[in-house]
A and B are shown apart, each in its own frame.
Chain A
Amino acid sequence: MAIYLQIISNGLMLGALYACLAVGFSLVWGVLNVINMLHGSFIILGGYLTFFAWHLYGIHPVVMLPIVAALMFALGFALQKLVINRVVSAPVLTTLTLTFGLDMILYNAMTYWFTATPRRITLDLGAVDLGSVVLPVDRLIGTALALVLTLLLYGVMRGSSIGRAIVAVRMDRSAAELMGIRTDRIYAITFGIGALMAGVAGVVFATVFPITTNVTGIWLGKAFVVCVVGGLGSVPGALVGGLVLGLVESFAGHWFGPQQAITAGFVLMLVLLVTRPTGLIGVRGYE
């Protein structure tokens, strides 16, 4: 029994990280209808910025959080405004190929400057022992941070006028335009928020997982799965998708070995794609 408590808590901790990782990707997909192949590299870029600030200048990751957020938002905003916006209403083949091309550039630049050596910030905070369940403190903080950031985005989407405008554009672009919303600007802001969430996920990840350009594809794959499992374009969807994926991977890893954890995630995704393409809590009509 105790082992299952540990598996469940591991799964939930992992799931919160996945939710934070995927929520920006989900937002961009839902609002812009663009599959952002850059997302994995954005996460790693955030991680690198955090690592080098800590390694070279001794800046604590928590201090880096707002800085990375601001930088990544600016990068995402500019990229959407100057490049992606030109094809934003083109078919998926065009937008996906374009973001993949951009990803090749960013990936190459990062591999060239930082090399692919895995790097990680070790804060060494020990672990909390709750009798039957042991929780490493750095991971616990990472989880909490990921949850706070994801919920913060939820608050912004619900409460601020920008957030409401984004939701409006997502529901009906033409109607939103008629209401005086500048959709181009909303698109750029949304892409900026997507990059920002990827960046801050990278900050959290730098303290939990090794940072290397080799894993950009893996994180991108997680974002796919979380989106499809939870449903597109909403924060609660990403949260549910993330937690479900975390639990599934945790249990699959225990029963079938760690190698099968990722396989289980993809199988879950394909099954849901076919049986319930709106995701577990998605709304019909948003496919």
Chain B
Amino acid sequence: MRSGFPLYAAMIAGLLVLATTPLYADNYVVRTAAIVAMYGALATSWNFIGGFTGYPSFSTAAFFGLGAYVGAICQRHGIPMGLAWAIATVVVAAFAALLGGIILRLRGHYFAIGSIAVVELCRLVISSWSSLTGGGDGLNLPLMPWPPEQLMRFFLFVMLAILLASLIATIFVDRSRLGFGLRCIHQNEDAAAMVGINTTAYKIAAYTLSAMFCATAGAAYASWTGYIDPTDSFQIVMTVKVVVMALLGGAGTILGPALGAAAFVLLEELFWANFLDWNRAILGVVIVLLIFFLPGGLLSLGVLRRLRAAKVGGGK
């Protein structure tokens, strides 16, 4: 099959562009680069369940928010930052595996609704469990005694590391039995089960993978902003935004979701800066245009098509 070279080259070039922003640009640009990396990681994670497996999951915000809360609570109990992030990742991955065992029995519309309900339910539980989570008042995290530039640079590299980890995981899954099995489930779940794929285990693995990196990103985001509250941490808008990013780039491809995240964040910044009153509506228009005119995502465009490289069991 086709070689993976253009894919790796594009991936490394993209990461380098983001990583070198502190050398030539001001703090605003660095912050935007960190946001791109963060959403890139979220969209790449969603791709495991939404892109490869074809399950319309809308629970990204639940994993992100839970990650943020677990990380924040750990840090408030004196656990060092890095360890807190690791704990958040493991706890949320376990949560996703358990939850997946329950809601992955649903399909189509019911799965979509169930996964949205998970976000709402997490928000409600977190906001009413005040003794642990501070309820609606939110939680403050220990601030880091660094100047703003250094802080920004640090979190840019953290988010980039999470993005890189999620991309590497994607490449491995894409070339493994797991990825092949997930694509079979996407095409026809009953047939996949018939030929001997353990669909339940595969789906749970994909769902857990889709949660892990979101949790790390959430925990890192909490440390970055220094304050979290339930309304901000569990947003349905964020969930849908991540899905739109993945669709914009090309769901089920390796680089598509991250590319879509970059394009979306840049558009969003543009609209925020120029059309403050109407930015939400403009994003709505972008979504409508995307669905109508670019259903395969950016990577379906001629020039970028080569980056699809390993799509559908290519590595074999």
Contact = CB atoms under 8 A, between A and B. Distances in A.
Interface of A: 29, 33, 35, 83, 86-87, 90-94, 96-98, 100-105, 107-109, 111-112, 217, 221, 224-225, 227-228, 259-260, 262-263, 266-267, 269-270, 273-274, 277, 287
A260 B127 CA distance: 10
B112 A92 contact: yes
Interface of B: 50, 54, 56, 58, 102-103, 105-110, 112-114, 116-118, 120-121, 124-125, 127-128, 236, 240, 243-244, 247, 251, 277-281, 283-288, 290-292, 295
Given A97-B244, A108-B278, A92 B125 contact: no
Contacts of B116: 224
List 6 tightest A-B contacts by C-beta distance, closest first: A101-B287, A104-B284, A108-B281, A105-B284, A108-B280, A93-B56
A93 B58 CA distance: 9
B60 to A, nearest CB: 13
Contacts of B117: 221, 224-225, 266, 269-270, 273
Contacts of A100: 240, 287
User: DSSP class of A's interface residues: helix, strand, loop or mixed?
Assistant: helix
A101 B284 contact: yes
Contacts of B290: 101
Nearest to B116: A224
A35 B109 contact: yes
Nearest to A225: B117
B56 A104 contact: no
Contacts of A104: 280-281, 283-284, 287
Contact of B240 (A97, A107, A224, A273): A97
Given A105-B281, A259-B128, A274 B243 contact: no
B287 A270 contact: no
Contacts of B128: 259-260, 263
B280 A274 contact: no
Contacts of A102: 284, 288
Contact of A267 (B121, B247, B277): B121
Contact of A273 (B114, B244, B284): B114
A94 B291 contact: yes
18 contacts: A35-B109, A92-B112, A93-B50, A93-B243, A97-B291, A102-B288, A104-B283, A105-B288, A108-B281, A112-B277, A112-B278, A259-B124, A263-B124, A263-B125, A267-B121, A273-B103, A274-B103, A287-B110
